[in-house]
Amino acid sequence: MEAIYRRVLIKISGEALAGEKKTGFDFAFVTRVCETVKRAAEAGVQVGIVIGGGNFWRGVKDGDGKVERVSADRMGMLATAMNCLAVADVFRQLGCDARVMTAVDIQGVGERYDTRRAIEYLQQGKVVLFGCGTGMPFFSTDTAATLRAAEIHADAILLAKNIDGVYDDDPRKNPAAVKFDAISYEEVLARRLAVMDSTATSMAMDNHIPVVVFALAEPENILRVLGGEKIGTTVG
């Protein structure tokens, strides 16, 4: 594979890791994702990954009015750390060196995130999993993904979702919704399209990082995007 990007940040939703189970892990699917990322790494692409925590905890949505926002967000950070640990072990079983770095200190879980060390790992061909979001409440893992992408000088953000691109309306509710092949950051913000939250979109825009939105249902789509195939939607 001749990759068009040298270094990427892949954002994966926690729900995607659960598959039809909705919670926990569908390890058959997780293994397919890791095998695909391993192939990308073997082709020379440097890969960082941010994983959401929705397969365990959805923040205030799961708090049922009993858990305050700051606590709910910190619980979500812990959920992302659990996901990073599980996925890192799958990588290692496949013979792919993966490192977990966390935005907060959790002894024994991962090493404290450091930009220079993360870049060194990437240059050594290791897959780096960034856990615990930004380390601060009120920021989503989408924002964490764009922040880490900017810090490690990623060429693109690969937004692997449960939907195959960006639409002008929710295609699950509106069968007439139209998918964009490409769209600007400004239009995404103006239309309030559900690509990433507005903070994450603005950060990608300010740092000129293209975002490719595509379906993770077929993990091989990661390689197709890296190879320059026009799938999904490019935001830029």
Q: What is the pLDDT of residues 105-150, one digit of tens each?
A: 999 899 999 999 999 999 999 999 999 999 999 999 999 999 999 9
> Does residue 184 lie within any of the structural domains?
yes
Contact between 226 and 4 under an 8 Å Cβ cutoff? The reply is yes
Per-residue pLDDT at 173: 86
Question: What are the beta bridge partners of residue 12?
Answer: 51, 160
pLDDT beyond 90 at 59:
no
> Does residue 207 lie within any of the structural domains?
yes
Positive or negative, the CA dihedral 183, 16, 84, 75 is positive
pLDDT beyond 90 at 57:
no
Positive or negative, the CA dihedral 105, 106, 108, 109 is negative
> Does residue 161 lie within any of the structural domains?
yes
CA separation for the pair 10, 102 (Å, rounded): 16
Nearest to 8 by CA among 226, 231, 157, 160: 157
CATH number at residue 151: 3.40.1160.10
> Does residue 2 lie within any of the structural domains?
no
> Does residue 26 lie within any of the structural domains?
yes
> Does residue 1 lie within any of the structural domains?
no
Render pLDDT for 63-89 as a digit per residue (tens, 0 to 9). Answer: 788 899 999 999 999 999 999 999 999
Please give the residue range of the domain that contains residue 30: 7-235
> Does residue 200 lie within any of the structural domains?
yes
Distant-in-sequence, close-in-space partners of 110: CB < 8 Å, separation ≥ 6: 81, 84, 85, 99, 100, 101, 102, 129, 131
pLDDT beyond 80 at 60:
no
When divided into structural domains, the chain yields a total of 1
pTM for this entry: 0.94
Which residue carries 């293209």 as its tokens?
Answer: 210
Rounded alpha-carbon distances, angstroms, from residue 112 to 85, 102, 152, 192: 14, 5, 15, 34
